[in-house]
Amino acid sequence: GPHQKRKIAFVCNPKMGGSGIIATELAMALAERGHHIWLLAERHPYSWRQVSDTLHFLKLHVNDYPVFESAPHTLALAGALANLVEQNGIEIVHAHYAVPYAAAGLMAKFICKKPFKLMTTLHGTDVVKLADDPAMHRVIETVLAESERVISVSDDLAQQTFDRFDLKQTPATIANFVVPKKIFQGNRADARKELGLDVDETYLVHASNFREIKRIPDIVRCFALVRKQMKCKMIFLGEGPEVEPSKALARSLGVFDDITWVGQDPLISRWFSAANVNLQLSEYESFGLTLIESMIQGTPSVVTNIGGMPEVVKDVGKIVEVGDYEAAANAALELLNDEESEHIKKLCLEVASSRYSSEAVCIAYEKVYDQALCTK
Ligand code: GMT
């Protein structure tokens, strides 16, 4: 339906990672819907595309004058935001992550000569992990209280936030979404041919930034157990500190030759389309973007019973306890069972396109922006 065109500045982490991907895709989708969007960051986010002339990128310059131990990034962001708002008549600053992005937004509010509304989307690590740090806790609590609206990417994260901070109300949930343009359009065989994979092989997949929180050793152990039961291969997508240790563990478990470490690949959807099962066995995950990226390609996931993952894979995946890689292996074997796989594939597609539609998310945010601008 018709909606008012807004002027919105986005601030997010431009590095490869779910929060930056979602913020960037949301910025682009809203610009395509006619809103005027500015994205302020140290560099173009990974998935940035100039989709509309109502979309603007502003490079953040952080002065790293040598007297500083580390460059005052948050202050640079706050000042640049204040300038951006004043120069362009921006009505809303939409921050992805309470710290440091919404905190910079709050500082900008203090500096800026024109009023604007601060919107904060929580992606997890900001509230759940940083809340344990007493200094950070105070900052986050203030930022949440001073944000016009706080949105969480899952119901679980909303509840966790409410439990940890003194808030007037639980944040509203607007889930992450599938990006239509990124969907691989071919079938599994097409994807495999394009990737040079064996059309008849069974492939398990995992994608992340290989931080400790992803529990990569559990994935390697899970794969080794599945490999004992049937011929199959493992594909690791992404880069990070746990890549090298995972190779050592794979060697010691005798499955090194059955694993491919692909590294970073922008065409991640092709890999999910090619795979039979996706594994995400993290210690914490507010949402788990790869779950819907694989779901839309018809590939179900085995996940740990933590954070937002159970609500994301509800009806279309298997849930095991954190650390229980044996249960994860059994769950993967169940999903690999031929009888079930055609049915699951259909269900995955259905759920991913209905529950995680990008249009529905844009509409939900437009409503939140409207509400924020209507309250004085
Ligand atoms: O999990 C990461 O390593 C990256 C992190 C980020 O900042 O991009 O991801 C968080 O936000 C994503 C988008 O909302 C979620 O899908 C991830 O689950 C969440 N990560 C954690 O909660 C650990």
Taking the centre of ligand 1 as the mean of its atom positions, its distance from the CA of residue 65, in whole angstroms, is 31
**Cβ-based neighbours of 55, under 8 Å, separated by 6 or more:** 27, 28, 31, 37, 39
Atom 21 of ligand 1, residue of closest alpha carbon: 285
Q: Which of 351, 277, 354, 289 is nearest to 320 (CA)?
A: 277
Taking the centre of ligand 1 as the mean of its atom positions, its distance from the CA of residue 129, in whole angstroms, is 11
Taking the centre of ligand 1 as the mean of its atom positions, its distance from the CA of residue 35, in whole angstroms, is 26
Q: Is the CB of 16 under 6 A from ligand 1?
A: no
Tokens 């095991």 — which residue? 320
Taking the centre of ligand 1 as the mean of its atom positions, its distance from the CA of residue 181, in whole angstroms, is 21
Confidence (pLDDT) at 78: 98
What is the crossing angle of helices 18-32 and 358-374, to 10°? 80
Taking the centre of ligand 1 as the mean of its atom positions, its distance from the CA of residue 113, in whole angstroms, is 34
Q: Is the CB of 19 under 6 A from ligand 1?
A: yes
Atom of ligand 1 minimally distant from the CA of 308: 18
Q: Is the CB of 288 under 6 A from ligand 1?
A: yes
Taking the centre of ligand 1 as the mean of its atom positions, its distance from the CA of residue 243, in whole angstroms, is 18
Confidence (pLDDT) at 165: 96
> Based on the number of CB atoms within 10 Å of its own CB, is 321 exposed (0-12), middle (13-18) or buried (19 or more)?
exposed
Atom 2 of ligand 1, residue of closest alpha carbon: 17
Atom 9 of ligand 1, residue of closest alpha carbon: 18
Domains of the chain by range and CATH? Answer: 7-177+357-374 (3.40.50.2000), 180-355 (3.40.50.2000)
Q: Which residues of 164-202 are buried (b: 16+ CB within 10 A; e: fewer)?
A: bbeeeeebebbbbbbbeebbbeeebeebbeebebeeeeb
Ligand 1 pocket check: which of 12, 19, 212 to mutate, most ligand atoms within 8 Å of Cβ? 19
Q: Degrees (nearest 5) of the Cα angle 226, 228, 233?
A: 55
Amino acid letter for position 10: F
Confidence (pLDDT) at 376: 53
Which H helix or E strand runs over 208?
A: none
Confidence (pLDDT) at 63: 87
Give the β-pairing of 149-152 and 117-122.
parallel
Residues linked to residue 279 through DSSP beta bridges, in sequence order: 302
Q: Which of 2, 94, 3 is nearest to 370 (CA)?
A: 3
Taking the centre of ligand 1 as the mean of its atom positions, its distance from the CA of residue 109, in whole angstroms, is 27
Helix, strand, or coil here: 148?
coil
Q: The tokens of 43 are what? A: 């560099």
Taking the centre of ligand 1 as the mean of its atom positions, its distance from the CA of residue 153, in whole angstroms, is 10
**Cβ-based neighbours of 284, under 8 Å, separated by 6 or more:** 124, 128, 129, 213, 306, 307
Atom of ligand 1 minimally distant from the CA of 128: 22
Confidence (pLDDT) at 110: 97
Ligand 1 pocket check: which of 15, 21, 121, 125 to mutate, most ligand atoms within 8 Å of Cβ? 125
Ligand 1 pocket check: which of 285, 292, 361 to mutate, most ligand atoms within 8 Å of Cβ? 285
pLDDT one digit per residue (tens) for the chain, 376 residues = 457 899 999 999 998 789 999 999 999 999 999 999 999 999 999 889 999 999 999 999 998 888 888 889 999 999 999 999 999 999 999 999 999 999 999 999 999 999 999 999 999 988 888 999 999 999 999 999 999 999 999 999 999 999 999 998 899 999 999 999 999 999 999 999 999 999 999 999 999 999 999 999 999 999 999 999 999 999 999 999 999 999 999 999 999 999 999 999 988 999 999 999 999 999 999 999 999 999 999 999 999 999 999 999 999 999 999 999 999 999 999 999 877 778 999 999 999 999 999 999 999 999 999 999 987 5
Walk across the sheet containing 317-320 and list its strands. 259-263, 233-237, 203-207, 277-280, 301-304, 317-320
Give the β-pairing of 301-304 and 317-320.
parallel
50/278 Cα distance (integer angstroms): 31
pTM (global) more than 0.90 = yes
